[in-house]
Structure 1
Amino acid sequence: MARNLTRKILEAHLVSGRLVPGEEIGIKIDHTLLQDATGTMAMLEFEAMGLERVKVGLAAQYVDHNLLQSDFRNADDHKFLQTACARYGIHFSRPGNGISHQVHMERFGRPGLTMIGADSHTPGAAGVSMLAIGAGGLDVALAMAGHPYYFPCPKVLGVRLTGELPDWCSAKDVILEMLRRYDVKGCVGKVVEYYGPGVASLSATDRETIGNMGTELGATSSIFPSDARTRQYLEAQGRGDAWIELAADPGCDYDEHAELDLSTIEPLIACPSSPGNVKRVAEVAGLKVDQVIVGSSVNSSYRDLMVTAKIVEGRHSHPDTAFHVNPGSRQVLENVAEAGGVMALLLAGARIHQSGCLGCIGMGQAPGTGQVSLRTFPRNFPGRSGTKDDRVYLCSPETAAAAALKGVITDPRDLGGEMAYPRIADPEKYLVDESSIIFPTPELAKTEVVRGPNIMRLPEFDALPDTLEARVAIRVEDNISTDGIMPAGSKILPLRSNIAAISEFVFHLVDAEFVSRIKSLGDAVVIGGENYGQGSSREHAALAPRYLGVRAKIVKSFARIHKANLCNFGILPLTFKNPEDYALCAPGKKVVFPEIKKHLQGGAREIPVEVDGRTIITLLDVSDRQREHLIAGGTLNFVKQGGKG
């Protein structure tokens, strides 16, 4: 039977369940990835399991989010992570070495392996043909402890690529075209598998860009075949021995199918304030631009920085436009410098920052009041930049460079009359730098873990009661992101290892009075619309609300990772059977879940809920395993009681 590539990898790693879309499966995980904004809590969760060493093929911890050391908190957490990695056998990438996705692809990624990461853009590993999935920190901690990763078996959307990209267009325009077609929830529950003759025209880092931002489609993951371009990249990184050929079988089936002719792609841009709000650059050309940033977790590779450098070479950025560059890794910057790109960027007025996520998660680089910011980042959710009512656009490096030069949004094809399009070839041999990665050794296993005063113990949560009584604490609209639930930024992210402190900011961007109100309610319920919890994998968006007393969320539909995180921390993830019942659940209403524990134990999918004395029906679409975790009050409770994660 002919099989697609996704199914091949899933079959090779399957440990439980059937490969039937929607049914829960468990797969063996080869690699785990943590970054510091999620890693501190995940490391505390791993420690709570009482193991001496990690039990996964390769575990890596990157420091790329909380790089701003405005007080002791971030520095303390970095030392905690470094010493914990040494103690437990985890690779540690030091601050400034690079963004997790870029560095993992450079130094560790291998075709055909599975990886989960506590970062929603982990699927960027599609660049080297890994089946990589974003997950909550607790799921990653469990994988580090040797447990399978459980998730709903995805459908596979096969996208056949033909043709080649025209000048002044690049991989960012490809994924923006996908977002124009599918929006931010059109690929929920799916792996997007690219194949066809057009694939060969895309480099490994082009594919990383597309895989990284596939997350914005709502996709579980994205994947490309491992071919000559993959081999070329791995050999250039000095890791040719990691390459194997992987592809879908000829004539295989896909659950859904699409075609995309790369030669028809044109410059695209995602307008405020959603990655799915995509328009042609030509439609918004002429708008004054105050800030341009190239880099972050996507579009921060050698190719992306060099094409930017070549476009601006011999010119200077517009006097009214701030021009920033965030390299994806120290190695990327070294190679760009070797090719003369750093000097070209500096002479063009670029501010070259350390390798890290920086402005993508509101860690600096916030635009001014009312200013327009063009970024090659993956997200532009409201307020994510650190500025309220921000005006953030997402675009390719070519479009960003054109705006930096002209001071207004500019179709980069308009530069064609001034210069030839710079087509960038990857180096035949990269300058390889892994000097800032600390590899685990038996000697380091004797390291004492250092804990700063902001690193608090995990809170303990009660099991599910027989009957749950609560009040509606807040009702929100469609597409609320995890940034809306638990904001990031330089003020809040340093509190990530202190749940009591970070919980003071739950829903802060949506309703500044939420925390003070919920404290007077006792047990609480959150009501939401469609695609609730899209965006980042941060489990704090489940953990902190649970700490405040949220015991259930009733919404029209959930984003995948957030729903799993809710189960992990004992919050009931319910959906309205009748979406019109959303209107009945106003803030302050009394909500009763009669005999809720009995309903879960009996496997009921339909859960009756009394709202001010009126009964509505909600749906609980979770696995039997997740039901046990919810009854126990969360996954850690269940594991400590002897259950399997």
Structure 2
Amino acid sequence: MPHALHNTLKTLPDTAPALQYYSLPALEAAGIGPISRLPVSIRLVLESVLRNCDGKKVTEEHVRQLANWKPTGHRVDEIPFVVARVVLQDFTGVPLLADLAAMRNVADKLGKNPKLIEPLVPVDLVVDHSVQVDYYGTPDALRKNMEMEFQRNSERYQFMKWGMQAFDTFKVVPPGVGIVHQVNLEYLFRGVQVRDGIAFPDTLVGTDSHTTMINAVGVVGWGVGGIEAEAGMLGQPVYFLTPDVIGVELSGHLREGVTATDLVLAVTELLRHEKVVGKFVEFFGPGTASLTVTDRATIANMAPEYGATMGFFPVDEKTIAYLQGTGRTDAEIAQFEAYFKAQNLFGIPQAGEIDYTRVVKLDLDGIVPSLAGPKRPQDRIALTAMKTSFNSLFAAPVTANGFNKKSSQLAERYPTARQGIDIGNGDILIAAITSCTNTSNPGVMLASGLLAKKAVEKGLSVKPHIKTSLAPGSRVVTEYLTRTGLLEPLAQLGFALAGYGCTTCIGNAGDLAPEFNEAIQLHDVVAAAVLSGNRNFEARIHPNIRANFLASPPLVVAFAIAGRANIDLTTEPLGTGKDGQPVYLRDIWPSSDEVAELLKFALDPEVFRTLYSDLTKDLDLWNNIPAPQGQVYSWPESTYIARPPFFDQFSPTPGSIDDIKGARALLVLGDSVTTDHISPAGSFGEKTPAGQYLIAHGVARPDFNSYGSRRGNHDVMIRGTFANVRVKNLMLPAKADGGRVEGGFTLLDNTLSTVYDAAQAYMERGAPTIVFAGEEYGTGSSRDWAAKGTLLLGVKAVIAKSFERIHRSNLVGMGVLPLQFKGNDSVQSLGITGNELFAVLGVDEHLKPQQDLTLVICHPDGQKQHIPVLCRIDTPIEVDYYKHGGILPYVLRDLLH
């Protein structure tokens, strides 16, 4: 610690044994900066920079720069943020573990100790993405779905168990316990951490965008790609540019009948409009103080949907009450409170106390019941407008978020092969209470149970063609729904317990009945899903369901009863009761007093202590999985787990970087291309390149599982890159109806080809490729394989109008150059069709962050354009990563040096 900062180490009062801490008030008293005016989130990052200041990776200059953070200005300062721990989910955690195992292979091959590759901070992997809703609506659905899960994923789970014994700090929360973010909030987060007698606040990064849910309890943390998480695990700071901090001042109170889900959909709509992408968002004001921690968690969870790095809530009495209610020890809670009070970080700030980049105001009294959809979470629709909105979008062009159908077709019904069942446009085929956003919130979960209870009492039911499911975020939810008598009425409406995992929200809804799929495809039906999730991107929920709406759990139940999305539930009846009278939503909607009466069952500390005391109790399927031994993995033959190719050409020293020349366009894409478009997570068919690969390796179609579950095998994943059935490649010619061929296709020598086959052909010819795109490229999940697959397809650069934060970072982390069009330049304005030859000039050893490079476009008629583009390698450390061919070779060279 440099001398000027040495006097910041103080003794924490009222703790036994006595603990020390790095004092931010002492830093301010030393004249280092106006720290008490800084946003709370910035102060917590500053504590990490101060505590980890070693004069090398973290310097005194870093401390001074951040201590003097200004609300506005050109952001050029790079923060080296050392996190306390890392959280993984299994879709991203398995490929990360595979990378670590491959690094050990390299170390072993070079005669080094494989144990040099070892996480230096605690790592928790929560298995929550693998369970699918194959069975639903029956008492044994949970068990049957878990049996299918283990049948499909036993090779992956063996690999995880190898990791548990090979790495000292690598722990696994097994399948059947809960969703990573709810488990993180309820159990993995322990308050203030202590190492070597030093107390410090919990901080983390996680390999899932919704890691931000932990911001609800004052923890600084966000989602990163696994490639960044690996670097953090192996001793590298997480580097990022000093952020803007947007203060969101909440005032007022939610009205009767309005849920936290309605609030977060309004926040998402507002903050997307405010363009907070890549910024910290910090909530303050009296409305913030009035919210429970679980309501705060609902808002924090959806930070990726409003585009922010974080949705941060400072610590206060509500945080203490949550820790007490979830079974933390008295000592932990006392230590937590003492720490934050000693740092002057306790309490929700009020207007004027902190200097924010700018302030956005939201009156909670103005929030109304809402849904969001049909394709994006930021497209909020008031409940009163659902009918007119769906009907309007049905005929609207695709460019206006519509479905481009004839209005005359809206009311048509189509027969199915199942006797007595027909389906039509707007019919709901999937209704799912799922995802961390809402299943962590007892208020909305209890409301869904109360609504179900009243609906059953009225004699209402759900139509047989709707696939209903309940996937709680943890076993705690099942416990309080059981104790309040609400699990049974939910099951009576079809919402039987189906699994503990992301299920429908991640694309694991399972398939529809074949006769329904057939009718949808035959008649091009615009069917709907309604789910309590956070993601509703095209083809994510189910490839045949085109309209997907996010809603609170009670509204999911209500729409399932109504059976269609194009209905105004505020004026039209849900159905007919057993007395022959119409039943309206208002007749069965629970009051806030009814919900509040049951909340005491949701925060019972003994329940939390019991359920989290032994994570493997009663999990026989997990306990029966064998655990391979050894420090170096032997890579047995598997279509799930394969040694990744990223270190095949590894050398102790990096090569040189150079201009990109003679490049071809692999795809030309539009706006809002998500990581789901680039690297889908859900199911795939046997005619796809990935399906063909598995068939050639003896895997039958029923055993394909999902792309997400096969992320440990690069041969599957490279074939799945850009293979989403809704990818719209603008290189492809228009069809007779004005649309384009959709899916993983492109042009090779003016002939239709799969993206995978075209990429292989270009690589055989030695021709680099480029992907072009519009605004918000890479929105959605923090999906490593969106960058890894791009690299393995031979793509050297992605040129877009703008990038989402995590995916841009992931591209750099894999050695792919992200470039941004400047000003009004775009694919359209430059006339790029994909038939051109391209070059990118200015890529050399003198590359600097955010410098201009030159895109050369050689048109088929011989005309050339020289276009300036912004290099989105944003920080000096990212330049180093790029020069090393990516973050993984950089870290490996550092460890083996």
TM-score surpassing 0.5? yes
1:272-311 matches, cutoff 5 A:
272-285=374-387, 288-301=427-440, 302-311=442-451
Residues 656 and 845, structure 2, Cα contact 8 Å, conserved in 1: no
Which stretch shifts more, 123-132 or 198-207? 198-207
Letter matched to residue 797 of structure 2: A
Residues 473 and 588, structure 1, Cα contact 8 Å, conserved in 2: no
Does 1:33 find its partner at 2:87?
Answer: yes
Task: Please give the alpha-carbon distance, in whole angstroms, between the structure 2 residues aligned to 1:468 and 1:643.
Answer: 30
Post-superposition offset of 1:11: 1.0
Q: Secondary structure at the match of 1:198?
A: helix
Question: Number of residue pairs matched?
Answer: 640
Does 1:344 find its partner at 2:423?
Answer: no
1:161-240 matches, cutoff 5 A:
161-183=250-272, 186-240=275-329
Q: CA offsets per residue over residues 36-74 of structure 1, 9 Å max, x none? A: 100011112334264468555532101111235478662
Match of 1:9 in 2: 44
Residues 168 and 398, structure 1, Cα contact 8 Å, conserved in 2: no
Letter matched to residue 192 of structure 1: V
Residues 168 and 412, structure 1, Cα contact 8 Å, conserved in 2: no
Post-superposition offset of 1:608: 1.3
Post-superposition offset of 1:404: 2.6
Task: Please give the alpha-carbon distance, in whole angstroms, between the structure 1 residues aligned to 2:716 and 2:249.
Answer: 48
Task: Please give the alpha-carbon distance, in whole angstroms, between the structure 2 residues aligned to 1:200 and 1:388.
Answer: 43
Q: Secondary structure at the match of 1:637?
A: helix
Residues 131 and 149, structure 2, Cα contact 8 Å, conserved in 1: no
Letter matched to residue 448 of structure 2: T
Match of 1:466 in 2: 658
Match of 1:390 in 2: 546
Which stretch shifts more, 551-560 or 396-405? 396-405
Task: Please give the alpha-carbon distance, in whole angstroms, between the structure 2 residues aligned to 1:451 and 1:31.
Answer: 28
Which stretch shifts more, 358-367 or 28-37? 358-367
Q: 1:65 to 1:464 in 2, by over 3 A?
A: farther
Q: 1:331 to 1:603 in 2, by over 3 A?
A: closer
Letter matched to residue 463 of structure 2: P
Q: CA offsets per residue over residues 116-170 of structure 1, 9 Å max, x none? A: 0000110011222211210000111122223211122221111111222122211
Task: Please give the alpha-carbon distance, in whole angstroms, between the structure 2 residues aligned to 1:436 and 1:545.
Answer: 41
Post-superposition offset of 1:318: 2.6
Post-superposition offset of 1:207: 1.3
Residues 27 and 148, structure 1, Cα contact 8 Å, conserved in 2: yes
Given candidates 511, 515, 518, the residue that maps to 2:759 is 518
1:358-369 matches, cutoff 5 A:
358-365=503-510, 369=520
Match of 2:774 in 1: 529
Q: 1:213 to 1:249 in 2, by over 3 A?
A: closer
1:420-459 matches, cutoff 5 A:
420-421=590-591, 422-424=594-596, 425-427=599-601, 428-430=603-605, 431-432=607-608, 433-434=611-612, 437=615, 453=638, 454-459=640-645
Residues 183 and 277, structure 1, Cα contact 8 Å, conserved in 2: no
Q: Secondary structure at the match of 2:761?
A: coil
Match of 1:92 in 2: 172
Q: CA offsets per residue over residues 550-570 of structure 1, 9 Å max, x none? A: 111111111000011011100
Residues 37 and 493, structure 1, Cα contact 8 Å, conserved in 2: yes
Match of 1:122 in 2: 211
Does 1:557 find its partner at 2:802?
Answer: yes
Q: 1:638 to 1:145 in 2, by over 3 A?
A: closer
> Identical aligned pairs, as a percentage?
28
Q: 1:641 to 1:87 in 2, by over 3 A?
A: closer
Q: Secondary structure at the match of 2:681?
A: coil
Given candidates 843, 855, 861, the residue that maps to 1:609 is 855
Task: Please give the alpha-carbon distance, in whole angstroms, between the structure 2 residues aligned to 1:90 and 1:484.
Answer: 31
Given candidates 252, 272, 278, the residue that maps to 2:354 is 252
1:127-138 matches, cutoff 5 A:
127-138=216-227
Task: Please give the alpha-carbon distance, in whole angstroms, between the structure 2 residues aligned to 1:588 and 1:222.
Answer: 43
Q: Secondary structure at the match of 1:121?
A: helix
Q: 1:617 to 1:72 in 2, by over 3 A?
A: farther
Post-superposition offset of 1:466: 2.4
Letter matched to residue 836 of structure 2: K
Task: Please give the alpha-carbon distance, in whole angstroms, between the structure 2 residues aligned to 1:344 and 1:121.
Answer: 30
Q: CA offsets per residue over residues 268-295 of structure 1, 9 Å max, x none? A: 1112101111121110148643332112
Match of 2:713 in 1: 498
1:541-556 matches, cutoff 5 A:
541-556=786-801
Unaligned regions of 5+ residues in structure 2, if any?
1-33, 70-74, 105-113, 133-147, 192-200, 341-345, 389-425, 521-525, 572-583, 618-626, 650-654, 684-705, 728-742, 746-754, 859-863
Post-superposition offset of 1:339: 2.4
Given candidates 432, 447, 462, the residue that maps to 1:318 is 462
Post-superposition offset of 1:257: 0.5
Which stretch shifts more, 467-476 or 573-582? 573-582
Post-superposition offset of 1:447: 6.4
| TM-score, structure 1 as length reference | 0.92
Match of 2:563 in 1: 407
Match of 2:476 in 1: 331
Post-superposition offset of 1:603: 5.8
Letter matched to residue 593 of structure 1: V
Residues 162 and 260, structure 1, Cα contact 8 Å, conserved in 2: yes
Residues 269 and 306, structure 2, Cα contact 8 Å, conserved in 1: no
| TM-score, structure 2 as length reference | 0.67
Post-superposition offset of 1:298: 1.4
Post-superposition offset of 1:408: 3.9
Match of 2:751 in 1: none
Task: Please give the alpha-carbon distance, in whole angstroms, between the structure 1 residues aligned to 2:253 and 2:190.
Answer: 26
| Structure with greater Cα Rg | 2
Q: Secondary structure at the match of 1:312?
A: helix
Residues 524 and 552, structure 1, Cα contact 8 Å, conserved in 2: yes
Task: Please give the alpha-carbon distance, in whole angstroms, between the structure 1 residues aligned to 2:761 and 2:377.
Answer: 36
Q: Secondary structure at the match of 2:258?
A: coil
Q: Secondary structure at the match of 2:128?
A: coil
Given candidates 675, 679, 684, the residue that maps to 1:482 is 675
1:581-596 matches, cutoff 5 A:
581-583=826-828, 584=830, 585-594=832-841, 596=843
Q: CA offsets per residue over residues 207-232 of structure 1, 9 Å max, x none? A: 11111112101110111122222111
Q: Secondary structure at the match of 2:667?
A: strand
Does 1:624 find its partner at 2:895?
Answer: no
Q: 1:418 to 1:135 in 2, by over 3 A?
A: closer
Post-superposition offset of 1:471: 1.1
Residues 507 and 541, structure 2, Cα contact 8 Å, conserved in 1: yes
Task: Please give the alpha-carbon distance, in whole angstroms, between the structure 1 residues aligned to 2:761 and 2:628.
Answer: 46
Post-superposition offset of 1:184: 7.6
